[in-house]
Amino acid sequence: MTQNSSAEQEFFELSQERVQSRESRTFVRNQWFGLLFCQFCLASCITGAIMGLGYYFLREKPLATQAPLPCLSPACMRVAERLSAVIGPQPCDYFQFICKAEISAKSSGKHKSIIISHNVTGTEEVRSGVVKGGGRRTDSESDSERKSDHSLPDRQTALLEAIKEILESPKRDITRAAQKAQMFYNTCMRSNNTLNESIYNAQTLIQQFGGWPVPVGWKQPELNSTLALLMSKYNTFSFFNVYVGPDQNGSKNYIQIDQPEFQFPIEWNSHTNRSKFNSQSLRPFFSSCRELLTLLDVSFISSTQHCGLYMSLSSTLVTNTSPHSHRLSHNLLYHHITIQELQEMAPAIDWLKCLQAIFHPVPVSKSDIVLLHNLPYIIYMSETISSWRQTHEKINSFPLHSFMIMNLLQTLMPALHNTFMPTMKHFSLAIDNENEVVPGWRHCVLQTVKGFDLLISHLLKDYYVDKEGEKLISDIYNTFKTKVASLNWQNKDTQDFMVNKIKSLTPRLSTNSELFSQLKIDEHFGEVIMSEKLYFSNYLQMLGLQQKMRSRMLTQTEQPYTDVLSIQPIFFGNDIIIPVGMFVSPQFHSSYPRAVNYGMLGTLIAKDLLHLLLPDILSQSESAVLVSECVWSHYLKTQKGTSSLSPSQQQEVWVQYSALQVALLSYNKSLQRNSNDTSVSGLSHTHLFLASFIQASCDSGSYKAYLPFEPSFLVTVLCVNSVHCPRPLTCVDTRSQRQLSTLC
């Protein structure tokens, strides 16, 4: 208790040093006090944990002068709530905070643990999880592992929630385009078409493609035309995938042709280098496929045939698909080739016709370069189409057509009546966790994003990123530049190269490009007609919008397309694109104290920049090795253990520690510009910054597996003797404090 009091005393003596005017002080104190009381009441309703803290301040009120005004926005209240679960009444509790407390999340309250204990045995700690196998790419990887115990929602979910908020916000003075997006979302949420309507809609569309093949008297539509129509108008890529993106140097957008995605779990055999479907999933799929066709009035015999052919052709095609890692090691990615050459290698497809349809009205010619990501598959696919066509047409069976119609149905499935749901579950076995019920809003947000990504990026910026956000990017980048220049590089050449490279790059927000001008956006969505009621017809419009976006990207050769759901910076030419999706709470909010924004998003961006720009820093700068070893030696002084760090751990320790330094210096710079900053939970400035850093660091990014201790330990090291930290923060366990005297 006496110890507590002296720490508090010290903390408030520090605050008192900043006192300037007695009058303003009284005023501020009164006002602040009222607000604090409010905050106190509110917060205690949510959790009792803050009580200690509130009490702590109330008791000390005569000293709490010139304290920054508390931030009482709803976003700040949520920060306060989370902090209260993390910190106790003493500032020193930070250092004992453990991210992954193994306490059940239900008893969420205080998760205070006494010591940092982590069994580190060199490489042992390096968990896999960064590398994912599998032959298919999904745009939304499951993030169920990401549940953090301290109620920071994972970043992807937070972003989806932010988009939901925009889509559900009452229509005020929003643009026509935004109204359309909201209308789409609303019909998705309240989609109430009857089963009969759904059946009718699906059947009508299938008829447009020539209907189901029947053995007698059926004329097969031309395959190339069917394929082109499916891809261009219905966003359905049966035999291969087509998208637009930069080449590996990230300097220009190209048409990219890839292996298709299959709706089954795929197994990769690394001995034969072949893929196959997981045989267990085929049986339930087969029966749900038949159920689906029965719903659509296809006879039992025919449905058995269509489903059988569909699955057998899929199983054949899949053999030559391979996971990314294999294609990378065999140089199968980013294969430059002209459309003419492609036509010669894979003649069963009319490539020019298909690509022209997909990118209409952008001209595509035979001499254009496309990038292939699995040439052997494409050749094999072409051979398979030819041979299947020849053998099956003799016996009046049309597997290629059945295959394409089944693919179309898969595309339509999300917009059909919920009787189709159980079937859909099996169809998307490979994507969704079987038992996980996708909440309606999440599904609808994802669907809306597919058609309206461009607009939603724009809206995200309008709603969430203010000047402060852009300032944060430039502050972090400037400090980052200084940091890189000050490193001890192995030789002059490396140093010059790195410093010049970093100087030549400009960080910018993903929406700061020509693509996002209001005019262009209105024009882009101008022809789209959204219905107030009919989700199915809106859904078809959305499929068309995806084509529109693709062709638009192709004309923007100098502009990157950043997925609106992206939360990681990327290179594009001389730019570093910071996705606008990073700027949503809990990592960032315009009402937050800057301490929170810099402590959370600031460190995240700094970390991403370090990973992006200095992928092999350890081999090039001795600073990185020295710093990581210094941090680690501090750890070994407080914890018993003798092990040394693996190179990836060394790297990560350096990255995280440097990110913390960069963000703190940037925050300091921002304070020098304007010393005004608000507070949360009675914490302010550096104190609040560090608390926020610890919170954000618990968000398990993919690299966190390599960090051999709790992120809060970095604060301990940073604050040893450091001018960066307010004095009372150097209250590491007094035993070890004497030992921790060198600065890293």
Ligand X SMILES: *[C@@H]1O[C@H](CO)[C@@H](O)[C@H](O)[C@H]1NC(C)=O
- Least distance between ligand X and beta carbon 330 (Å): 6
Burial class (CB in 10 A: 0-12, 13-18, 19+), 630: middle
What stretch of H or E contains 427? Answer: helix 421-427
Residue number, 537 or 546, with CB nearest to ligand X: 537
C-alpha dist (Å) from residue 91 to 6, 13, 32, 83, 587: 12, 14, 21, 12, 22
In angstroms, what is the minimal distance from the CB of 665 to ligand X? 6
Site string for ligand X, 126-165 (x = CB under 6 A): ----------------------------------------
Site string (364-403) toward ligand X, x via CB under 6 A? ---------------------x---x--------------
Please choose, out of 149-157, 190-198, 505-513, 694-702, the segment that lies near ligand X by the rule CB under 6 A. 190-198
378-379-382-388 Cα dihedral, nearest 10 degrees: -110
Tell me which of 674, 734, 735, 738 binds ligand X, using CB under 6 A. 674
Stretch that binds ligand X, among 118-126, 260-268, 363-371, 537-545 (CB under 6 A): 118-126
Q: Which residues pair with 443 in a beta bridge?
A: none
Q: Which two tokens mark 687?
A: 């104190």
Choosing from 121, 144, 204, 486, the residue that interacts with ligand X (CB under 6 A) is: 121
Smallest separation (angstroms) from ligand X to the CB of 208: 19
Q: Is 429 left (phi over 0), alpha (psi -120 to 50) or beta?
A: alpha
Q: Rounded to an integer, what is the distance from CA 163 to the centroid of its chain?
A: 13
Binding residues with ligand X: total (CB under 6 A): 32
Q: Which of residues 222-241 bind ligand X (CB under 6 A)?
A: 222-224
Query: Which of 220, 400, 377 has its CA nearest to residue 310?
Result: 400
Shortest separation between residue 273's beta carbon and ligand X, angstroms: 4
What is the closest distance, in whole angstroms, from the C-beta atom of residue 670 to ligand X in the complex? 10
CA distance 370 to 254: 6
| Contacts for 591 with CB less than 8 Å, ≥ 6 apart | 71, 73, 75, 76
Q: Helix, strand, or coil here: 243?
A: strand
Of the candidates 69, 103, 174, 431, which one interacts with ligand X according to CB under 6 A?
A: 69
Interface with ligand X, residue 331, by CB under 6 A: no
Beta strands per DSSP E along 359-455: 369-372
The residue (of 84 and 238) whose beta carbon lies closer to ligand X is 238
Toward ligand X, which CB reaches closer, 124 or 622? 124
Measure Cα distances from 169 to 54, 155, 166, 458, 465 in Å: 34, 21, 5, 15, 17
CB of 386 to ligand X, least distance (A): 7
User: Which of these ranges, 288-296, 342-350, 469-477, 505-513, lies near ligand X under the rule CB under 6 A?
Assistant: 342-350
**Interface mask (CB under 6 A) for ligand X, residues 14-53, using x and -?**
----------------------------------------
Whether 592 contacts 76, CB under 8 Å:
yes
Residue nearest to ligand X (CB): 350
Specify whether the backbone of 577 is left (phi greater than 0), alpha (psi in -120 to 50) or beta.
beta
The closest of 449, 463, 465 to 549, measured between CA atoms, is 449
Instruction: Tell me which stretch binds ligand X (CB under 6 A): 45-53, 119-127, 135-143, 476-484.
Output: 119-127
CB of 526 to ligand X, least distance (A): 26
Given 18, 59, 132, 190, the residue binding ligand X (CB under 6 A) = 190
Quick one: 204 or 272, whose CB is closer to ligand X? 272
The number of CA neighbours under 13 Å toward the Cβ of 598 is 31
Task: Please state the three-class secondary structure of 623-681 as a single string.
Answer: HHHHHHHHHHHHHHHHCCCCCCCCHHHHHHHHHHHHHHHHHHHHHHHHHHHCCCCCEEC
For 416, the 3-state DSSP assignment is coil
Longest pairwise C-alpha distance within the chain: 98
Interface mask toward ligand X for 634-673; x: CB under 6 A: -------------------------------x--x--xx-
CB of 217 to ligand X, least distance (A): 20
- The token duo for 401 is 């057509």
Q: Which residues on neighbouring strands pair with residue 509, listed in sequence order?
A: 578
Q: Of 157, 192, 279, 557, which one interacts with ligand X (CB under 6 A)?
A: 192
Find the shortest distance in angstroms from Cβ 516 to ligand X.
Answer: 26
Spatial distance between the Cα atoms of 568 and 151, rounded to a whole number of angstroms: 21
Contact set for ligand X, span 258-297 (CB under 6 A): 272-273
> Residue 249 interacts with ligand X (CB under 6 A)?
yes
Which tokens belong to 166? Answer: 């925009």
Residue choice 723, 734, 735, 738 for contact with ligand X (CB under 6 A): 723
335: β partners: 372
Q: How far is the CB of 64 from ligand X (least distance, A)?
A: 17
SS3 321: coil
- Of 83 and 665, nearer to ligand X (C-beta) is 665
Kindly write out the interface string for residues 496-535 of this chain, putting x where it contacts ligand X by CB under 6 A and - elsewhere: -------------------------------------x--
- Cβ neighbors of 263 (< 8 A, separation 6 or more) are 285, 410, 427, 428, 429, 430, 431
Q: Is 350 in the site for ligand X (CB under 6 A)?
A: yes
C-alpha distances (whole Å) from 698 to each of 96, 151, 656, 694, 702 are: 13, 10, 12, 7, 11
**Footprint of ligand X on 308-327 (CB under 6 A):** 326
Compare residues 122 and 129 and give the one whose CB is closer to ligand X.
Answer: 122
Least distance (Å) between residue 728 CB and ligand X: 17
Closest distance of CB 522 from ligand X, Å: 28
**Binds ligand X by CB under 6 A, chosen from 5, 31, 119, 433:** 119
Closest CB to ligand X among 381 and 456? 381
339 binds ligand X (CB under 6 A): no
Q: Does 107 bind ligand X (CB under 6 A)?
A: no
To the nearest whole angstrom, how small is the minimum distance from the Cβ of residue 540 to ligand X?
18
Question: Where does residue 688 rank: exposed (0-12), middle (13-18), buried (19+ CB within 10 A)?
Answer: buried
Residues within the interface to ligand X (CB under 6 A): 69, 119, 121, 124, 190, 192, 194, 196, 222-224, 249, 251, 272-273, 326, 329, 347-350, 385, 389, 533, 665, 668, 671-672, 674, 676, 723-724
